[in-house]
Amino acid sequence: MDTNAVLDIGLDALILTAKLAAPVLITALVVGFIVSLLQSVTQIQEVTLSFVPKAVAAAVALLVSGHWMISELVTFTHELFARIPQLVGG
């Protein structure tokens, strides 16, 4: 197994991680922005107010995109297992 193969697998893993984290992170970012905008407009400065909507939105994002996430992980794992003979030189 050479350095290029390790770097290729590492790059693919990082890209997959970014793809899988994006729906939840973007959802939490958008909801957090909306809640903070509402807090600034209404002058309600409660720190814990933004936690519950973000947690609920992240849970909904996981429910909506969970099947896709599992499919991507299974596909990546199958591709890694298919690469094993090539990586060990067989």
Confirm if 26 and 49 have CB atoms less than 8 A apart.
Answer: no
Helix (H) or strand (E) holding 81: helix 51-87
| pLDDT tens, position by position, 67-85 | 999 999 999 999 999 998 8
Its pTM stands at 0.81
pLDDT at 30 (0 to 100): 96
Amino acid at 50: S
Q: What is the pLDDT of residues 43-56, one digit of tens each?
A: 887 878 889 999 99
Report how far residue 40's alpha carbon sits from residue 26's, in angstroms, rounded to the nearest whole number: 21
Tens of pLDDT along 11-65? 999 999 999 999 999 999 999 999 999 988 988 878 788 899 999 999 999 999 9
**Element containing residue 13 per DSSP (H, E):** helix 3-42
| pLDDT, position 90 | 60
Contact 37, 56 (CB under 8 A): no
